[in-house]
């Protein structure tokens, strides 16, 4: 059952992810190098390449590691309450460091088709699924007309969030979260 040989070092794995996160926070993803991660983590390059093939994958796993709390999608029975709470939690979780990590991942996806695919079908799609489930429950309750396209609503939410993350045209705070929630609620009622 158990394969022979020395087992993977869980500590090395964690040290590498921590080192990557730390370096991105300090110097930005643009300055991040595999060599730098290895040195910072006190690990050989080979140990990194054994388990990840690009630095984007390392960072993606580092982000996933520190994002278990995001999972909780509210379900109070009221669309307005759920949406506002969801967005408040989301903006709360997006600290400056996290913002930088997320922006880096989106950038990496533009430069590497391979990574783009895994980023879209993994990270992004799972986030979208959660939100869509919340809206679908509201539609079943009759809070949203059956004619409304839920995917468009989901798109508006994440478009606004990502635009803020990437362009930094304004703060990613609770006030912004409320504005997004209100816009989507209005769109969910119209037409």
Partner DNA sequence: GCGTAAACGAGACGGTACGTCGGGTCTTTAA
Partner DNA sequence: TTAAAGACCCGACGTACCGTCTCGTTTACGC
Q: Provide the minimum distance between the beta carbon of 35 and DNA in the complex, in angstroms, as a whole number.
A: 3
Interface region with a second copy, contact rule CB under 8 A, candidates 14-22, 73-81, 138-146, 164-172: 164-172
User: What is the size of the binding site for a second copy (CB under 8 A)?
Assistant: 34
Per rule CB under 7 A, is residue 28 in the interface with DNA? Answer: no
Q: Which is nearer to DNA, 44 or 126 (CB)?
A: 44
Q: Taking a C-beta distance cutoff of 8 angstroms, is the pair 29, 108 a contact?
A: yes
Restricting to residues 44-63, name those near DNA by CB under 7 A. 44-47, 49-51, 54-55
* From DNA, a second copy, none, interface partner of 47 (C-beta below 5 to 8 A by class): DNA
Mask for 25-54, x = binds a second copy (CB under 8 A): ---xxx------------------------
Per rule CB under 8 A, is residue 12 in the interface with a second copy? Answer: no
* 3 state SS for 151-182: HHHHHHHHHHHHHHHHHCCCCCCHHHHHHHHH
CA 50 to chain centre: 25
Restricting to residues 97-126, name those near DNA by CB under 7 A. none
Residue 61's closest CA among 117, 116, 21?
21
Per rule CB under 8 A, is residue 104 in the interface with a second copy? Answer: yes
Q: Which two tokens stand for residue 153?
A: 């609503």
Q: Which is nearer to DNA, 4 or 142 (CB)?
A: 4
* From a second copy, DNA, none, interface partner of 51 (C-beta below 5 to 8 A by class): DNA
* From DNA, a second copy, none, interface partner of 3 (C-beta below 5 to 8 A by class): DNA
Q: Provide the minimum distance between the beta carbon of 40 and DNA in the complex, in angstroms, as a whole number.
A: 11
User: For binding to DNA (CB under 7 A), which residues are involved?
Assistant: 1-9, 12-13, 33-36, 42-47, 49-51, 54-55
């Amino acid at each position: 059952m158990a394969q022979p040989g020395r087992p993977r070092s869980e500590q090395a794995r964690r040290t590498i992810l921590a080192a990557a996160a730390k370096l991105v926070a300090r110097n930005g993803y643009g300055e991040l190098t595999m060599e730098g991660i290895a040195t910072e983590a006190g690990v050989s390059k080979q140990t990194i390449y054994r388990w990840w093939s690009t630095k984007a994958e390392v960072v993606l796993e580092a982000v996933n590691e520190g994002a278990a709390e995001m999972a909780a999608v509210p379900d109070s029975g009221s669309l307005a309450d759920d949406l506002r709470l969801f967005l408040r939690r989301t903006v709360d979780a997006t600290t400056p460091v996290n913002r930088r990590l997320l922006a880096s991942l989106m950038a990496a996806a533009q430069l590497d088709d391979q990574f783009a695919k895994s980023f879209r079908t993994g990270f992004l799609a799972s986030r979208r699924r959660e939100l869509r489930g919340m809206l679908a429950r509201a539609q079943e309750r009759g809070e949203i007309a059956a004619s409304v396209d839920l995917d468009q609503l989901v798109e508006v939410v994440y478009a606004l969030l990502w635009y803020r993350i990437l362009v930094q045209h304004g703060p990613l705070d609770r006030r912004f979260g409320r504005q997004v929630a209100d816009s989507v609620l209005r769109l969910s009622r119209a037409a």
